[in-house]
Structure 1
Amino acid sequence: MDPQGSGVLVSAMQWLQGTLLGTVATVAAVIAVAAVGFMMLTGRLDWRFGATVIIGCFIIFGAASIVAGIQAASG
């Protein structure tokens, strides 16, 4: 239940979420993972840092599913 008059804020946040997780963000994440992977394979990047970048992308794009799972588990 949203408070009265919060429809504009909710709409703005949904637009922001769509923008941040839309096509541009997906393309940027794919390029980042490809660049990090290439740098890891050529030995120019530490494996721990590379894994952190890749796991971060999974967390950002899977945040809605992660939150839904936590909410379902908490009852």
Structure 2
Amino acid sequence: MDIKIFQKTQRELAATINIVIDTYWEDRLSENEMIEMIQKLYRNNGSKFLKDDQFTTVLRQQCGKRRLEVVSKVLNITGQHS
């Protein structure tokens, strides 16, 4: 699965997160591949993920609670999806 590691906007980042997690949920991506992709996205787009120690508003609106719960667990972040 080819995804851009460096995202231009928060909306593009949210769309990519959705694709990665949905593909994993559809069993078309292994758990290790999904974890690796989420970690790479976070490493290279950290400022687009979090603001004031919470997921950005755009990510919360575009990704939804269930996907952000997965992201929180992958990144070992607690209380970020509220």
**TM-score, structure 1 as length reference:** 0.46
> If each structure's helix is expressed as a fraction of its own residues, which one has the higher value?
1
| Greater length-normalized contact order (CA 8 Å, ≥ 6 residues apart) | 2
**TM-score, structure 2 as length reference:** 0.43
> If each structure's strand is expressed as a fraction of its own residues, which one has the higher value?
2
Larger Rg: 1
